[in-house]
Amino acid sequence: MKFKELVGLVESDLYRYTGKVSKTLFLRNITFNPGFKYSFWMRVCAYLAERRFCKYSAYWVARFFYARYGYTYAIEIPVDTQIGSGLLIVHIGGIVVHSNVVIGNNVSISQGVTLGAAYRGTRQGCPVIGDDVYIGPGAKVFGHIRIGNNVAIGANSVVTKDVPDNAVVVGVPGQVISYRGSQGYVANRFHD
């Protein structure tokens, strides 16, 4: 990852929270917004981990803040997780993401969400989350499945099967109840 890409990712995350990008908004959000603060340090750690010189100096400072905020806000998203632009952590607390999960652009993750691996059965592995996806509070997504683009996953749903584009999924096990998608749930979509 180049420095310009890091700046682009941070700006895209900021845009998801505020609908704008400015230095003032950055300073306000890096100070007072737990979700943005966590994602910022996660992105910085991922960038610095790829730099040989920084890996043994600045990386550990960034890693300290990343670990501190992860512990404080109860968020566990590994630095090496593949995450697209425009990540929005809607509310903090109880968010766990496996390092092999792939998350697309403009994804909104609420509190209590688990994106995890399945270790047996036909769907062993981790989910691939598409673009413009809303994952509601308490939702669990497990196994080697694909969540399509523009999908809304309802609160406390358990999703263990592929979800097509534009679907709304609710329940245990998760069932498609409509094809209205995530329109209205994914605010401030960031587009390059």
Q: What CATH number does the domain located at 80-183 have?
A: 2.160.10.10
Residue 189: per-residue pLDDT: 87
Report how far Cα 161 is from the mean position of its chain's Cα atoms. Answer: 20
Residue 19: per-residue pLDDT: 93
Residue 55: per-residue pLDDT: 66
Whole-model pTM: value is: 0.93
- pLDDT < 70 regions, the chain: 55, 192
Burial classification of residue 2, based on how many CB atoms lie within 10 Å of its CB (0-12 exposed, 13-18 middle, 19 or more buried): exposed
* Residue 10: C-alpha distances to residues 119, 150, 175 (Å): 33, 22, 34
Domain ranges in the chain with CATH number 2.160.10.10: 80-183
